[in-house]
Amino acid sequence: MKIPIAVIDAFTNRAFAGNPAGVCLLDQELTSDQVQSIAMEMNLSETAFVQKTQKRGYYSLRWFTPTLEIDLCGHATLAASFWMLRSGWAVEGEMIHFATLSGELRVKSEGDWLIMDFPLIPTFTNTHPKFKSSLFGHAIVQAAQLNKNWIFELEDEKAVRALIPDFPEIARNSEEGFIITAKGEGEYDIVSRFFGPNVGVPEDPVTGFAHCALMDYWNQKVGMTQIKAYQASKRGGELFLEKHDDRVLIKGQAVAVLEGLINV
């Protein structure tokens, strides 16, 4: 059986930047073993699997890393929505509804942009049991905990960009990974990076779910409700965030880089 598959670069307007995600638009249901095998073969941080439901505009959506299924993924949702519009599965300007492990997610196109309606992820100021005052040689301004991950605020953007992660140490001291962040020094309000060795993603290029938590973190700390964010990975990517009660609107762009078939 041959399954259509695409690779989409998310949170960027140019190829070979942002975060690449695999996207499969499925006309028939595959087993969890089959979709996990596809994700492993693609070896991208996430591959998204979309199926139609009986209701127009409503779809099921699952995300897999090379090693496991995850609860929430922003860039692969953006990539899936982009490819659905390009493939005729969705209609420009109409709301796309996804049933996911994180509840219903909604995405709508606006010209070249896609706007995702995601849940705000609560964060709680806390001190990490091991990394209390510094993280790999950089001073910690403040730390916060969220489900399965930690946020570490560093002194400045330079520290975020310069930090060299120790992946075995991160794996030993988190369920999934570490988010590091600081106030931006130029056109961006904040910068960040995400290290997720326990989900098979040593450093993620651009991480949607992390920004659902960063929106809460920076809102609690300084009252931000709108953020222009940059994830300072090697590929880099930008996101525009807007808080609405317990939801976050995440705005980004995407580019298709590959389309083909995969044998299952």
The answer to whether 185 is a known catalytic residue is: no
How far apart are the C-alpha atoms of 9 and 262, rounded to whole Å?
19
**DSSP class of 15:** T
How far apart are the C-alpha atoms of 192 and 183, rounded to whole Å?
9
How far apart are the C-alpha atoms of 98 and 117, rounded to whole Å?
10
How far is residue 184 from each of residues 9, 159, 187, 252, measured CA to CA in Å? 24, 11, 7, 19
How far is residue 128 from each of residues 137, 156, 195, 228, measured CA to CA in Å? 15, 20, 16, 27
Helix (H) or strand (E) holding 75: helix 74-87
Determine which one of 41, 46, 155, 175 is catalytic. Answer: 46
Catalytic center residues: 46
